Amino acid sequence: MAPAASPEDVWTRFAMSVFKVNGLIIAVGEGITNPIGQHSARWQVLGRACEPTTVAKMAQDIGHARQSVQRIADIQATEGLIAFRDNPTDRRARLVALTPAGTEVLTKIYRRQEE
């Protein structure tokens, strides 16, 4: 038996609603971040870097692929927005932490968000 093209069960309707809300959040995030040279994914990485964590944990927390977060973190590190630090619990997985410049950009984003 082939699945229906558009299931109408409660779970599917709920999931589709969540996907729609997520799309709206991303669209609004782009409007907040684009004028200051950022975008939603970069904001998510900066926001999560407030508390030093690994790229893998950050990716898990924000629901992105580890490779995507690593790519953004590498770019932000070259821009001086984040820094990689030694991790006392795992030598292979460095910690990602905000720099003062990253804190400044994140503060600008939060000010725009409040507006």
What are the mean pLDDT values of the chain's consecutive 10-residue runs (115 residues total)? 71 93 93 93 94 95 94 97 94 95 96 92
Distance in angstroms (rounded) separating the CA atoms of residues 81 and 109:
13
Q: What is the pLDDT of residue 3?
A: 62
Distance in angstroms (rounded) separating the CA atoms of residues 57 and 105:
22
Q: What is the pLDDT of residue 7?
A: 74
Q: Determine whether 105 is exposed, middle or buried from the number of CB atoms within 10 Å of its CB (0-12, 13-18, 19+).
A: buried
pTM listed for this prediction: 0.83
* Joined tokens for residue 83: 């820094």
* Joined tokens for residue 36: 């200051």
CA-to-CA separations, 93 to 20, 26, 56, in angstroms, rounded:
34, 29, 8
Sign of the dihedral through C-alpha 76, 80, 86, 89: negative
Q: Going from the N-terminus, what domains does the chain have, and what CATH number goes with each?
A: 10-114 (1.10.10.10)
Q: What is the pLDDT of residue 108?
A: 96
Closest CA to 33 of 113, 115, 114: 113
